[in-house]
Amino acid sequence: MNTEIDLGIRVTAWLQDQDFEVFPEVQLFRYGPVADIVARRRGLIVEVELKNSLGLRVIEQADYWTRRAHLVYVACPTGGRSRLVPRILKLLGIGLLVSGEYGTKEELRPEWRRAVGMDLNRALANANPAYAMPGNSEGKRWSPFQGTVEAVRRYAAAHPGAMLREVVDGIRTHYSSPTTARACIVQWTLAGRITGIRLERVGRAWTVWPTG
């Protein structure tokens, strides 16, 4: 089969064979672009855009990540028939992976970029590699908010009834300050956007408990 999910599974296996930890559908910020696959190995960040056909649209998507990942690829089932597209990829420093039922092959090596932003690395904080399938059409993606939620859940499971201040001090969040983190966790838990925990008031403070 040649759905983008199948393509993503093959590319994920190719990266894992090289000892990369793979994270599908990573979003830097709300309403922002979503990286189809982000892979990390000892500080090296690789981003891969998945597409069933090789064209300018996927190249444009991949180009966005060249300022945020050391290596950037486009992955397709075939290399396409156009001679111009590989020339554009080479000009932009974007690699090409051709991935079919017989395996995944690096057709074009990407340019190595030493100085890149830390956005993707920060987005992987507390990330869950099994959260979504790469190339899924359900809009399921990993974001820094999801990372904070996952960290809060884990802390609550390990320390039932902990004070919210202790929780925030004991984890890494994507918020700019502990005060903002505490306020937003209360707001989104009470609004039902954060599940898996419940809050109980003790005087003017909140305690955090796991549910389920």
Q: What's the pLDDT at 80?
A: 64
- pLDDT, mean of residues 19-47: 87
Residue 30 has pLDDT above 90, yes or no: no
Share of the chain above pLDDT 90, in %: 43
- pLDDT, mean of residues 60-82: 89
- Residue 119's pLDDT band (cuts 50, 70, 90): confident
Residue 129 has pLDDT above 60, yes or no: no
Q: How far is CA 199 from CA 18, 19, 85, 206, in A?
A: 42, 39, 54, 6
Please check whether residue 59 is in contact with residue 53, taking contact to mean a CB–CB distance below 8 angstroms.
no
Q: What's the pLDDT at 164?
A: 94
- Return the residue matching tokens 């008031």: 201
- Residue 138's pLDDT band (cuts 50, 70, 90): low
Q: What's the pLDDT at 66?
A: 95
Alpha helices in the chain (DSSP H): 4-16, 56-64, 84-92, 119-123, 144-158, 164-170, 178-190
Please check whether residue 58 is in contact with residue 49, taking contact to mean a CB–CB distance below 8 angstroms.
yes
Task: Provide the token pair at 191.
Answer: 């609004």
Q: Please state the pTM of the whole predicted model.
A: 0.66
**CATH match of 144-210 with 1.10.10:** yes
DSSP type of residue 66: G
**CATH code 3.40.1350.10 region(s) in the chain:** 4-123
Alpha helices in 39-143 (DSSP H): 56-64, 84-92, 119-123
Share of the chain above pLDDT 70, in %: 89
Please check whether residue 62 is in contact with residue 49, taking contact to mean a CB–CB distance below 8 angstroms.
yes
Q: What's the pLDDT at 84?
A: 86
Cβ-based neighbours of 134, under 8 Å, separated by 6 or more: 4, 5, 7, 8, 9, 11, 12, 22, 24, 25, 36, 37, 50
| Rounded distance between C-alpha atoms, residue 184 and residue 182, angstroms | 6
Residue 25 has pLDDT above 90, yes or no: no
Residue 154 has pLDDT above 60, yes or no: yes
Fold observed for domain 4-123: Trna Endonuclease; Chain: A, domain 1 (3.40.1350)
Q: What's the pLDDT at 144?
A: 73
* Other CB atoms within 10 Å distance of the CB of residue 78: 13
Please check whether residue 150 is in contact with residue 36, taking contact to mean a CB–CB distance below 8 angstroms.
no
Residue 136 has pLDDT above 70, yes or no: no
Please check whether residue 99 is in contact with residue 52, taking contact to mean a CB–CB distance below 8 angstroms.
no
**CATH code 1.10.10 region(s) in the chain:** 144-210
pLDDT tens-digit readout, 76-114: 998 666 778 889 999 999 999 998 878 899 999 999 999
Q: What's the pLDDT at 101?
A: 78
> What single-letter amino acid sits at 147?
G
- pLDDT, mean of residues 119-123: 78
